[in-house]
Amino acid sequence: MDAIIEIAIAKYNYWMYISLMMIGLYAIIAKNNFVKKIIGMNILQTAIILFYISISAKRGATIPIIRHAEGHGHEAVNAMEYMNPLPHVLMLTAIVVAVATLGVALALTVRLYARFETLEEDEINDQIREAQ
Amino acid sequence: MHEIYSIRPFLAVIASLAVTPILLSARSPNVREGWTFAAGALKLGIVVSMLPAVLGGSVFSFRLAEILPGIHLAFRVDAMGLLFALVASTLWIVTSAYSIGYMRGLNEHSQSRYYCFFAVALSATIGAAFAANLVTLYMFYEILSFATYPLVTHHQDEEAKISGRKYLFFIVGGSVALVLPAMIICYIKAETLDFAPQGFLSGHVGPGLTTVLLLLFVFGMAKAALMPMHAWLPAAMVAPTPVSALLHAVAVVKVGAFSVARILTGVFGVDLLAEYGLGTLLAVLASITMLTASFIALSQDGLKRRLAFSTIAQLSYILLGVALLTPKGITGGLVHIAMHAFGKITLFFCAGAIFVATGIKNISEMKGLGRRMPITMGAFFVASLSVIGLPPGGGFISKWFLVLGALEAHELVFLVVLLISSFLNAAYFLPIAYNAFFAKPENADMDAGFQEAPAWCVAPLVATTLASLWLFFNPWPFLDLARLAVAQVTGG
Amino acid sequence: MLIHAALEFPVWGDPNAPAHLHVAPEYLERAYEETATPNVVTAILADYRGYDTMFETAVIFSAGLACFFLLRTRSRKDPGDRFFRHLATDMVIRIQNPSMKIPDTPYLQPMDSFWTPRSTIVRAASRVLAPFIQLYALYVVAHGHYSPGGGFQGGVILGASFILIALSHDLRTCMRQTPEKLIGVLSPAGVLFYAGVGILCVLAGGNFLDYGALAGWFGMAREAARSLGILLVEMGVAACVMATMVIIYANLSSAGGHRQGL
Amino acid sequence: MIWQLDLAILTLVAICAVAAITVRDLLGAAVLFGAYSFMLCLLWAIMGAVDVAFTEASVGAGVSTVFFIAAVFRTTRRTKD
Amino acid sequence: MSNYPAFLIIAPLFAACLTATAGWIRRSLSFPLAVSGLTVSFLSSLGIAARVLASGKFQYSMGGWAPPLGIVLELDYLNTPFLVVVSGAALVSLIATRQFVEKEQEAKAPAFYALMVLAVTGMLGMVATGDAFNLYVLLEISSITGYALVASGDRLAPLASLRYLLLGTIGASFYLLGVGLLYMLTGTLNMADLSRLLPPLYGSNAVLAAFLLILCGIWLKAALFPLHAWLPGAYSHSSHASACLLAPLMTKVMIYVMLRVMLSVFTPAYIFDHLSLEGFVVTLASVAVAAGSVMALAQRNLRRMAVYIVIAEVGYMVGGAWLGNQTGITGAVLHALNDVLMTLCLFLAIAAVAGRTETLDFKDLNGLFGKMPFTMGALVLGAMSIIGVPPACGFFSKWFLLQGAIEAGRFDFMAALLFSSLINVVLFFRVFEYALYSDGHMHKQEEHGQTGIQEAPLSLVISLWVAVAGILAVGFCSGPIVRMFIQPALL
């Protein structure tokens, strides 16, 4: 039991990203409204960001900005003192990609609304079926 | 065996293909047909130019491109291939002349397309004849299938549509579903697909697999029209008669029979087949087809349909000859390719000439026709003799060798089958000629006097008739080629 | 499945997890020496993985382009009435005839159809704030070497300042400050600038995006040249991101018409 | 890094996420999504990813939310779920 | 010049930006700019191919940073043929579809060109890159532009595009998560480095999860059968120009990515020895092939039919790659290359037909052989390749797939392939029948084909025949391609 609790606590970030991911996937698949789906999509993406940031965390480390700036440049930098910067970099990119996707998705939603006057998937399907 | 590396086989294949753009874009029919003849003459010239060397025992070969690792798109001209190519390219010229008469006589539509696909089909035929390996053979076989489709459906009516579907179903279905896997299995087992004179499979496969492969090949090559894969042939008779004549008496079906012969000898090898006793199996299949088709032919009233079933039966002669696995039998089978071609094409020419001149398609309406069209019906009679296998028709030579082959193999059953079948042939051909000349016409306007088909139609059929007769007296070079081929495949 | 896999993850925050042991320390230890940039994230972003970042900018650019492409309409068919405010009398004029030509006078100000009275305080405040936000954004861009920030953040903030104006005033005001043509050119220009810096490096004899190669031209140390290169590409990024944010906002909020925003 | 704070914010994040996809008003959903992004931004900051936090604040909580609101204004607030 | 690997990707990026800029300044410049960008890219891909042939594989380090730190372009035997084919096909389809773009998009044509070129940039980048995360970024570029391109079609296109976007984002997210797992376990993102560091971890569930996530993501993007839901709508409602660009390239590039992940990140040793998924995947692929074919059979519209053929073809490649032997993978690689050309030819022909007839329902195709002989001729040759008739290239890849299936003893896959070939015969000859038979015996007047011909625009017809020439050329050179590129790549 203790072991389980320990695992649960030691890795709660990972549990959290999995649950966020599931929330996002659920929203994309099960929600009927396209804006909701898009929100779900964003939640999915941020869940992955959470995962990456969790990777980069290091106990007892600080933010990855080298402290002793000018003058001490040749002093060896102890990597253990700093967080892992690479996932941060990757996630900057991922956030930007997410906002780009969001922009396109919302643009499509606006187009969709102009055409169907609704954002509910089932209503749109009905309209298509009626048109045929 | 002396091998000559030369581009000539490739040129022979490409000759008719190269003129297709000209055919398509030609402004006037005369230019178009002129080019057709030019290509035909060129092709025949190239083929004939290889004849002396091949008769001297040499082999021409040419490699075009490596299409699969270790497998080239390659041509190899040996006696067997040259025999077939010679038949096909000779008859193309004749058929072209006939086509002019037929197509103009009936004022058919889309003639450019017709000549164009005809040329493509011929290229594919020669390609199949000269193929050096299974993949090349398969490639030309498939090209031939698809090039013939527009010819079969030339009339573009409902009947042509249905026939076209049937044609595709059997031909393409057979080659894709049966031949392709068989080919790949061969490749996996033997790691080569180049035809060897005595086969390349021996030592790589057991009896069970050999049987399976054999069946896949002979049924998959549906152009050989072995029952039950024959159904496309009568259906394909909706095509214009020159198409039926050249393609369904010579090019297409003979490609089927030739391919099977080539596979039996070049892939399996005579010895392997004999070892597992598979020749008999094939011979039985061929015999069944032969007899059944002959009986069906008896009951057909449409002249072209009767000819079609006759073709099915005759193709099985070729297969039977090869399946006997004796030198005489194989010789007979191969010579039959040529002999039957000359005979059957004449018969088709006659059928077309009758149709052009009078519009008659059915045998029952042909009574007394001999008085109106004596040349045509005379030619019909002589060609029937050849196909039945009676002297002075060229067909006698090949049947003679088949009978000898059956005796040589001590298979009296097949001898009997051959004789019955010949009798049936006589039974369904001779009455036509008899009725044409001696029966009273049912209505008076049959006696309208001399009314032959156009000269463009008659001249070719006379030519092929004479060729048929001439081949009886002098079967050179076909017999020599066949003997040479047999010597190569049996290692004798 | 994911949970199952998670059981084998290294414990969270473990400094000895493999992720921290392979490449990351090298970045941390070498970044400052090689690029003279204390903010390792910026150094990696714009230099070590600059190729990534260039495409990230291209993603933003393509998103802007996509929004423009999807939504922008130039069709003159108006939904109907147009509203104008007569500035002298503060009266609202509604014009129903769409074909009627409106004289371009300074007295008539076009208005949105779902016009709501706006708070003067908000308008004034955002008017005043906007330049400061923009200044701050430029600082963020330029100071990305030393503190959190860089091209993206700066660009977004810069874009946000224009969006703020669009929100507090209206879209037309915003579009007057940033004409569509300008931002339309600026957005690809940012990417071009980035890629151009890369090509300069090629011309200077290095690999693509190898800022160190520029050292010879500018007569400075390699690290300094790298630092400069980072700054240059961050500027490209900022320009692209700023323009794209405005494009996306303008098209989204007006459904492509650019007539009236929120 | 204080793990209690971390855990608390994570819980808030999850709550915001669930709320954003369940609330029956798209404008509300958009605003809740903004809140969600802001919580994440805090979370990143706590976890030491300052650059990411900065970006998330400006992009996620700022611009994304504005985009959402703009889109919802241009379309409809109505939703069935 | 040792920098042409960079120009391969930078040239189209540059060109896209310039095209978009030109849209605001001088519209007439935008198309030449786009074409020149892709031309430079195509030429550099040829340069790369020459260099790979001459001296083997090489790397190009972006920013001059050595692999684990920086991003490298890996140019080896596997991806050079893809680079050549992808850039060539993109160039052809860009030139071919100009008329459509100018007509349909009017003022927004420059933006459309820019999007097309950007999409190609993304694809080329994905093929060339040697970095797992970089691949994600490039994937997103081609996806985002792809969504926009897809949305530019008929009235249902935005809906199809939005569905594509949602599913595509799930796919990309899965891929990203998988890469994250790999990073967590190894600490690197470089593919070569990953394959070096992974073997000790092969037993781990996390590696398995990473593999499966990446694979699912790729399959979603590649539209493997149960995950194909986005594809039919996206490619049948989009404008012809975008269908001609995306349909040939997108799924094939994703297949390449799958092969890359299978061969270069994980190893065949891991996939086939440690996991025993191949049975399941090949069965899935067989089902995909059969289902794609059957669904294509149910369509009454040329374009929708072609779309389902694409789905079946994806099954071919996935199945081949998972047969677990050299031959199968060779077949998959070759088929991916061939399929680019075949699908390009097919969709260009469809676009050409649609440009004249407006509708693509079978019943409206009557008499097309008479009306547009060159287009239909090209369609016939493309169809021959898809059916698998030698010497068109489709035959040879099918050959390897079948051979691989037999060697692996997967007769279900073999049966599916043969079944699909036969269905393809039915599919295409049904079309040809409609096109051959005209209602009112028009052909009587069209004797010798002078009157009534209304062929597609010249640029389109020429491009179409360039694609056909490609099909035949690749067919004739299958042997050297396999020997010089694919076999060394699999060693």
* Predicted confidence (pLDDT) per residue in C49-104, tens digit: 888 888 888 999 999 888 888 887 765 445 556 667 676 666 767 766 666 666 66
Concatenate the DSSP letters of all residues of D49-68 into one string.
Answer: -HHHHHHIIIIIIIIIHHHH
- Residue E89 confidence (pLDDT): 92
pLDDT at A77 (0 to 100): 60
pTM: predicted TM-score of the whole model, two decimal places: 0.90
Give residue D59's pLDDT.
86
Confidence of residue E293 (pLDDT cuts 50, 70, 90): very high
Average pLDDT of chain C to the nearest whole number: 76
The Cα–Cα gap between A124 and A107 comes to 17
Give the model confidence (pLDDT) of E378-396 as tens digits: 888 899 899 888 888 888 8
Contact E168, E43 (CB under 8 A): no
Are the beta carbons of E175 and E214 closer than 8 angstroms?
Answer: yes
Report the pLDDT value the prediction gives residue E441, as an integer from 0 to 100: 45
Higher local confidence (pLDDT), C7 or C199: C199
Rounded to whole angstroms, the Cα distance separating E387 from B417 reads: 41
CA B207, CA B281: separation in Å to the nearest integer? Answer: 13
Q: Is the peptide bond before B392 cis (omega within 30 degrees of 0)?
A: yes
Top residue of C69, C201, C230, C240 to mutate, by most chain E CBs within 10 Å, is C69
> pLDDT band at E256, cuts 50/70/90?
very high
- Res. B295: pLDDT tops 50: yes
Neighbours of chain B (3+ CB pairs under 8 A): E
Q: Is the pLDDT of residue B193 over 80?
A: yes
Residue contact E422–B68, C-beta within 8 A: no
Pairing of strands B58-68, B2-5: parallel
Average pLDDT over residues C114-125: 69
For chain C, give every domain's residue range: 37-77+117-254
Integer Cα distance of C139 and B454 in angstroms: 97
Residue E414 forms contact with B (CB below 8 Å) = yes
- What are the structural domains, with CATH classification, of chain A? 2-62+83-131 (1.10.287.3510)
What's the confidence (pLDDT) of residue E336? 92
Tallying the residues shown for chain B, one arrives at 492
Q: CB of E356 within 8 A of CB of E456?
A: yes
Placement of tokens 């200077």 in the chain: C204
- Residue E255 pLDDT grade (very low, low, confident, very high; cuts 50, 70, 90): very high
B420 or C14, higher pLDDT: B420
The answer to whether residues B350 and B320 touch, using CB atoms and an 8 Å cutoff, is no
In the predicted model, is pLDDT for residue B159 greater than 80?
A: yes
Judging contacts by C-beta atoms under 8 Å, the chain E residues touching residue C211 are 63
* Cβ distance of E180 and A55 shorter than 8 Å: yes
Q: Out of C7-16, E87-96, E444-453, which region has the weakest mean confidence (pLDDT)?
A: E444-453
Put simply, whether E436 touches B (Cβ < 8 Å) is yes
Neighbouring residues of C255: CB distance < 8 A, sequence distance ≥ 6: A110, A114, C71, C73, D74
Interface touch D76/A32, C-beta < 8 Å: no
The 10s digit of each residue's pLDDT in E107-133 is 788 888 989 999 999 999 999 888 889
| pLDDT score, position E203 | 77
Taking one residue from A and the other from C, the number of pairs with CB-CB distance under 8 angstroms is 138
Among residues C242, C239, C262, C241, the alpha carbon closest in space to that of C251 is found at C262
ipTM of the complex: 0.87
Q: How confident is the model at residue E165, as a pLDDT? A: 92
pLDDT in the model for residue B451: 73
Tens digits of residue pLDDT in B408-440? 888 888 889 888 998 898 888 888 888 888 877
Taking the CA atoms of residue D39, residue D41, residue D46 and residue D48 in that order, the dihedral angle to the nearest 10 degrees is 160
DSSP H/E element including E168: helix E157-186
Q: Under a CB-based contact definition with an 8 Å cutoff, are residues E134 and C56 in contact?
A: no
Whole-number pLDDT of residue E144: 92
Helix (H) or strand (E) holding C235: helix C222-254
* pLDDT on residue B98: 85
CA of C88 to nearest chain E CA: how many angstroms apart? 37
CB-based contacts of B92, cutoff 8 Å, min separation 6: B16, B40, B43, B44, B122, B246
- Nearest one of E417, E99, E114, E131 to E260, comparing CA atoms: E131
pLDDT in tens, B202-239: 778 888 888 888 888 888 888 888 888 888 888 888 88
| Residue A105's pLDDT band (cuts 50, 70, 90) | very high
Helix axes B478-490, B79-106, angle to 10 degrees: 140
**What pLDDT is stored for residue C117 in this prediction?**
57
Are B358 and B370 in contact, with CB atoms under 8 Å apart? Answer: no
Q: According to the model, what pLDDT value does residue C256 have?
A: 66
| CB < 8 Å to A45, chain E | 169, 173
Distance from CA of C90 to the nearest CA of D (A): 27
Check: CB of residue B46 under 8 Å from CB of residue B14.
Answer: no
| Per-residue model confidence as pLDDT tens digits over E318-367 | 999 888 888 889 999 999 999 999 999 999 988 888 887 777 777 777 77
β-bridge partners, B60: B4, B77
Across residues C201-217, what is the average pLDDT?
77
Nearest Cβ partner of E63 from C10, C47, C70? C47
Is E39's pLDDT higher than 80? yes
- Tell me the one-letter amino acid at C261: G
User: CB distance from A13 to chain E under 8 Å?
Assistant: no
Q: Do A94 and E176 touch (CB under 8 A)?
A: yes
Contact E278, E271 (CB under 8 A): yes
* Average pLDDT of the residues in C203-216: 77
B94-139 pLDDT tens trace = 888 888 888 877 777 777 888 888 888 888 999 999 998 888 999 9
Minimum Cα–Cα distance from D4: chain A residue: A9
Q: What percent of chain E has pLDDT over 70?
A: 97
Output the average pLDDT for chain E. 85
Q: For E122-176, how does the pLDDT look when each residue is reduced to its tens digit (9 = 90+)?
A: 999 999 888 889 999 999 999 999 999 998 888 888 888 999 999 999 999 999 9
Position E85 scores a pLDDT of 92
Q: Cα dist. E451→E43, E316, E322, E354, E366 in Å?
A: 41, 42, 52, 20, 16
Distance CA E377, CA E393 (A): 17
Give the residue carrying structure tokens 């018969």.
B347
Determine the pLDDT at residue E290.
92
Query: Which DSSP symbol is given to B447?
Result: G
Q: Tell me, what amino acid is at E425?
A: V
Q: Look at residue D56 and tell me whether its pLDDT is greater than 80.
A: yes
pLDDT greater at residue E282 or residue E269: E282
CA distance A70 to E62: 28
Interface B:E, Cβ pairs < 8 A: 103
Chain B residues with a Cβ under 8 Å from any Cβ in chain E: 24, 27, 64-73, 109-112, 135, 138-139, 142-143, 146, 149-150, 153, 156, 161, 164-165, 168, 172-173, 176-177, 180-181, 184-185, 187-188
Of D33, D52, D80, the CB nearest to A42: D33
Q: How far is B423 from chain E (nearest CA, A)?
A: 41
pLDDT recorded at residue E335: 92
Q: Count contacts between C and E (CB, < 8 Å).
A: 179
Q: Which SS3 state, helix, strand or coil, does residue C112 take?
A: coil
Domain locations in chain E as residue ranges: 276-491
Please state which of the ranges C99-113, E59-73, E94-108 shows the lowest mean pLDDT: C99-113
Which tokens is B458 given?
A: 């008659």
Highest mean pLDDT among A65-74, C212-221, E54-63, E83-92: E83-92
End-to-end CA distance of chain B: 13
Residues of chain C with Cβ-Cβ distance to A59 below 8 Å are 13-15
Domain ranges, ordered by start, for chain D:
3-74
Range scoring the smallest mean pLDDT among B5-9, C75-79, E243-247, E420-424: C75-79
The size of chain C, in residues, is 262
CA distance B97 to B111: 14
DSSP B74: E
Q: What's the number of CA atoms in the CB half-sphere (13 Å) around residue E376?
A: 21
Q: Which of B298-302, D12-16, D37-41, E203-207 has the lowest mean pLDDT?
A: E203-207
What three-state secondary structure class fits E275? coil
Q: pLDDT tens digits for B334-383?
A: 998 888 888 888 888 888 888 888 888 888 888 878 878 888 888 888 88
Q: Do A86 and C62 touch (CB under 8 A)?
A: no
Average of per-residue pLDDT values in chain B: 85
Residue B301 in this model has a pLDDT that exceeds 60:
yes
What mean pLDDT comes out for the span B193-206? Answer: 83
Closest to A29 in 3D by CA, of E229, E151, E224, E180: E229
**pLDDT at residue C170 tops 60:** yes
In angstroms, the CA C86 to CA C26 distance is: 66
Q: How many CA atoms lie within 13 A of E269 on its CB side?
A: 11
Asked if the Cβ–Cβ distance from A43 to D36 is below 8 Å, we say yes
| Under 8 Å between Cβ of C258 and C249 | no
- Pairwise CA distance, residues B135 & E396, whole Å: 10
Q: Which of C18-32, C150-164, E103-117, E162-176 has the highest mean predicted lDDT (pLDDT)?
A: E162-176
Nearest to C256 by CA among C61, C75, C84, C81: C75
Mean pLDDT calculated for residue range E63-81: 82
* Band of residue C204 on the pLDDT scale cut at 50, 70, 90: confident
Residue with tokens 């879209």: C171
C31 pLDDT band (50/70/90 cuts)?
Answer: low
Q: How far is CA B104 from CA B96, B110, B375, B455, B457, in A?
A: 12, 11, 20, 12, 10
At CB < 8 Å, which residues of chain D contact A?
1, 6-7, 10, 13-14, 17-18, 20-21, 26, 29-30, 33, 36-37, 40, 43-44, 47-52, 55-56, 59-60, 63-64, 67-68, 70-72, 74-76, 78-81
CA distance B469 to B339: 10
Write the secondary structure of E180-248 as one string of H (helix), E (strand) and C (coil): HHHHHHHCCCEHHHHHHHCHHHCCCHHHHHHHHHHHHHHHHHHCCHHHCCHHHHHHHHCCHHHHHHHHH
pLDDT above 60 for E315: yes
Where is average pLDDT lowest: B191-200, C3-12, C193-202, E224-233? C3-12
Position B252 pLDDT exceeds 80? yes
| Count of positions (residues) in chain E | 491
Spatial distance between the Cα atoms of B415 and B407, rounded to a whole number of angstroms = 7
Predicted local distance difference test score (pLDDT) of residue E343: 92
With CB atoms and an 8 Å threshold, state whether D13 touches A24.
no
Which amino acid is present at E117?
V
Which pLDDT score, from 0 to 100, does residue C80 have? Answer: 56
Query: What pLDDT score does E446 carry?
Result: 44
pLDDT at position C257 over 70 = no
Neighboring chain A residues of D70 at a CB cutoff of 8 Å: 106
Q: Are B273 and B325 in contact (CB under 8 A)?
A: yes
